[in-house]
Amino acid sequence: MAQPALQTAAPATPTAPPTPAAMSAATVSAPAAVPSVSAPPAAPAPAAPAATPAAPARPGPPHTPAPGARAVTAGLLAVALLLSAGALAGGALQDFLDRMAGVFALVALSVSVMLGLASVFRDLLTPARRQLAQLLHRAAGLAGVGFLLVHIGVKVAGEEIAASDVLLGSGDLLVDLGSLAAQLFVLALLTGLWRGVFATRRWIRPFRMLHGLAYAGWVAGVVHGLGAGRTPAPWVTACYALCLAASAAALVHRWTRGRRR
């Protein structure tokens, strides 16, 4: 019986240990894996601020509405009554009005001018007091024009002037200054009553020009009161002087305040 052949394995060749150069090359060729770090999530962009709506343009200063038909009719009746007061009064009352109606008119209109100047002093008056000054300004203006109409009616009723002289002039400079003052004050009153018609940015400048003619009328009225007719009493002259001084001081303050701005 044949014996199986025995296969002998070749002895294994011993492997040399890796050199330091080979180890360094292997390290360079196969870098160690670096764990990835995830980036933090980006912060959301801040929302854009909402656009502020533009304020509507102011059409003009606060104003009272224009008088209606009833108010106009009542005003015309009042004018007719005041103009005829001299003829209706008669006697001692007519003499008193003949002497004093013009004085009352000029003093009331002077107060109205001063209050009109003071009503714009924002650095001196609170809004409530400025509103009160405006109300008193209008009341004094109405009273002054009322006395002015009585003054004219008394003079016409006493045949001291003709009715046409009020509008057309008489040729006497001092008397005509009084007629001019009356016309300018009536114009100022009408523009004040119809302020609502002018109270827009387009018409506010014409309003100020027309309403401001009251200053010229006031100066003409003062000259008329001091020079026309009888010589005024000392206390009347003193009242005129006080009105002139107070109005001049208010006007200077208004101009200087406007220049400082």
* Helix-, strand-, coil-residue percentages of the chain, each rounded to 5: 65, 0, 35
Over residues 193-218, the mean pLDDT reads 78
Quick count: other Cβ atoms within 10 Å of Cβ 28?
8
| b/e code 79-98 from CB counts within 10 Å (16+ = b) | eeebbebbeebeeeebeebb
pLDDT > 70 in the chain, percent: 70
Over residues 8-12, the mean pLDDT reads 46
Highest mean pLDDT among 7-11, 26-30, 184-188, 247-251: 184-188
The better pLDDT of the pair 7, 52 is held by 52
Region for 218 from its dihedrals, namely left if φ exceeds 0, alpha if ψ lies in -120 to 50, beta otherwise: alpha
pLDDT of residue 48: 54
pLDDT > 90 in the chain, percent: 8
The better pLDDT of the pair 43, 147 is held by 147
Band of pLDDT at residue 51, cut at 50, 70 and 90? low
Highest mean pLDDT among 14-23, 92-101, 247-256: 92-101
- Taking only the tens place, the pLDDT of each residue in 22-41 is 454 444 444 444 455 555 55
pLDDT of residue 83: 84
pLDDT of residue 53: 57
Region for 159 from its dihedrals, namely left if φ exceeds 0, alpha if ψ lies in -120 to 50, beta otherwise: left
Q: How far apart are CA 167 and CA 253, in angstroms?
A: 35
Q: What is the DSSP letter of 162?
A: -
pLDDT of residue 241: 85
Over residues 182-189, the mean pLDDT reads 90
Highest mean pLDDT among 12-21, 41-50, 220-229: 220-229
Closest CA to 151 of 215, 86, 92: 86
- Taking only the tens place, the pLDDT of each residue in 90-100 is 788 888 888 88
The better pLDDT of the pair 17, 136 is held by 136
Highest mean pLDDT among 21-35, 59-73, 114-128, 154-168: 154-168
* The token pair that represents 53 in the structure block: 């709506």
Q: How far apart are CA 209 and CA 227, in angstroms?
A: 28
Residues 125, 118: contact at Cβ < 8 Å? Answer: yes
The better pLDDT of the pair 132, 72 is held by 132
> What is the reported pTM?
0.66
